[in-house]
Homo-oligomer: A and B are copies of this chain.
């Protein structure tokens, strides 16, 4: 590890590992949003934020925030952070690295009062939650958590709104989560791809974050006996879902090869009911995840998926009891000024950088709608993410945190904006 950096790389690494190890032991590394394990992680994180001298609170949207007040209220807040929740059997860096890097930046800046207020944020439920929604906390902060979304339920029937309140939010005062004081938001994250690794580049400067749509389709057939129901008389919801998934894979592959930018579509969630070997599936629920740099392309794809799934369902003698666009975000461009600032900061510290698009969604995509926002990617081994083998080097995390710190100092030194 370079020993000339103004951040403590060992302390940073130790804290990433300490938070990551607060996992469901049967399924490392799992800390699902809203779960008891997630709350364990947040309690640990709240202590660390307090130890760093920050004032800790949970906002109305359920975001955990540590704040150091600034000396010049006209300058607003510099916000740094990411999220501490994981997918099932996820990794130790996705989200966590950004939260702990933010903490380390604040620690390394010492206790002198800055001009800007500085906040470290752990956004609630960035990963798709059990309630069918991702980026719950950053949606709330940017005003994109619609009242209808609060009614989404998990498998136990708990509403998302109730779950947010259960972890410390206050959804009846949800508007209080919305912010207008953020002067800059910077998020460090692992790349989750192989561009940096394969190019031997230290850090990535994100140009834009893809738009992400989630389309839920529930196929509704009849749960008949698998032995006595002839093939010709079946209403097999599972077969309708399977045919649709196969078609989506084919057409997404064709679109991805068509040269219209990054395009992917995935059926990650599929559940059969009753899911018994001798019963024809009476119900099959699929959630499709569709991501595109070109928003128009995603819109056309979703329309076609709606039509084609209806056609395949009819051909299989089943219906669709639900077709719902659970979410549909537009691509988000990172702030040009902050991108330049990050580039200059990296250069000043001797790190190589490259501009690249993010195929993954991030809280920064929502925050960018209310404040200048930018992201810094650190390389991850083999591009592997959302898996136990997810890995980032200690050096890479320290480099990223050092660049974040340098960017904060440069923001502090700029002349205040005159309204």
Which residue of B223, B242, B358 is within 8 Å of A387 (Cβ)?
B223
Contact A279 B242, beta carbon cutoff 8 Å: no
CB-CB contacts below 8 Å: A239-273 with B: 239, 241-243, 245-246, 249, 252-253, 256-257, 262-273
- Give chain B residues whose Cβ lies under 8 Å from the Cβ of A241: 242
Total copies of this chain within the assembly:
2
A61 to chain B, nearest CB (A): 20
Contact B256 A230, beta carbon cutoff 8 Å: yes
Contact B278 A289, beta carbon cutoff 8 Å: yes
Query: Given A266-B280, A267-B239, do A384 and B224 touch, yes or no (CB 8 Å)?
Result: yes
A323 to chain B, nearest CB (A): 16
Does A225 have its Cβ within 8 Å of any Cβ on chain B?
A: yes
Does A116 have its Cβ within 8 Å of any Cβ on chain B?
A: no
Contact B386 A279, beta carbon cutoff 8 Å: yes
A242 to B385, CA, bound (A): 24
Does A335 have its Cβ within 8 Å of any Cβ on chain B?
A: no
Query: Given A128-B278, A267-B238, A277-B128, do A383 and B228 touch, yes or no (CB 8 Å)?
Result: yes
Does A214 have its Cβ within 8 Å of any Cβ on chain B?
A: yes
Which residue of B192, B226, B228, B277 is within 8 Å of A228 (Cβ)?
B192
Contact B249 A246, beta carbon cutoff 8 Å: no
CB-CB contacts below 8 Å: A345-369 with B: 358-361
Q: Mark A214-235, 1 if CB is under 8 A from B, else 0.
A: 1000000011111111111000
Does A282 have its Cβ within 8 Å of any Cβ on chain B?
A: yes
Does A210 have its Cβ within 8 Å of any Cβ on chain B?
A: yes
Contact A253 B231, beta carbon cutoff 8 Å: yes
Contact B253 A246, beta carbon cutoff 8 Å: no
Contact B212 A227, beta carbon cutoff 8 Å: yes
- Give chain B residues whose Cβ lies under 8 Å from the Cβ of A282: 387
Does A6 have its Cβ within 8 Å of any Cβ on chain B?
A: no
Does A236 have its Cβ within 8 Å of any Cβ on chain B?
A: yes
Which residue of B89, B238, B268, B273 is within 8 Å of A278 (Cβ)?
B268
Which residue of B191, B271, B278, B387 is within 8 Å of A87 (Cβ)?
B278
Does A36 have its Cβ within 8 Å of any Cβ on chain B?
A: no
- Give chain B residues whose Cβ lies under 8 Å from the Cβ of A192: 225, 227-228
Does A103 have its Cβ within 8 Å of any Cβ on chain B?
A: no
Does A186 have its Cβ within 8 Å of any Cβ on chain B?
A: no
A135 to chain B, nearest CB (A): 11
Which residue of B128, B236, B238, B263 is within 8 Å of A276 (Cβ)?
B128
Contact B227 A264, beta carbon cutoff 8 Å: yes
Query: Given A88-B275, A134-B278, A238-B245, do A228 and B269 touch, yes or no (CB 8 Å)?
Result: no
- Give chain B residues whose Cβ lies under 8 Å from the Cβ of A274: 87-89, 386
Contact B278 A270, beta carbon cutoff 8 Å: no
Contact B281 A256, beta carbon cutoff 8 Å: no
Does A287 have its Cβ within 8 Å of any Cβ on chain B?
A: yes
Q: Mark A85-114, 1 if CB is under 8 A from B, else 0.
A: 001110000000000000000000000000
Which residue of B214, B268, B279 is within 8 Å of A275 (Cβ)?
B268
Does A193 have its Cβ within 8 Å of any Cβ on chain B?
A: yes
Does A67 have its Cβ within 8 Å of any Cβ on chain B?
A: no
Give the residue among A257, A264, A384 with the most B Cβ atoms within 10 A: A264
- Give chain B residues whose Cβ lies under 8 Å from the Cβ of A361: 227, 278
- Give chain B residues whose Cβ lies under 8 Å from the Cβ of A229: 193, 264, 359, 383
- Give chain B residues whose Cβ lies under 8 Å from the Cβ of A83: none
Contact A227 B291, beta carbon cutoff 8 Å: yes
Does A127 have its Cβ within 8 Å of any Cβ on chain B?
A: yes
A265 to B238, CA, bound (A): 13
Contact B242 A266, beta carbon cutoff 8 Å: no
Q: Rank and list the top 7 A-B pairs by shortest CB-CB distance, nearest first.
A: A242-B245, A228-B359, A226-B266, A227-B360, A242-B242, A88-B274, A128-B277
Complex A-B: 5 CB contacts under 8 Å: A192-B227, A223-B387, A224-B384, A227-B358, A276-B386
Given contacts A269-B275, A278-B386, 4 further A-B contacts (CB under 8 A): A89-B274, A224-B384, A238-B268, A268-B279
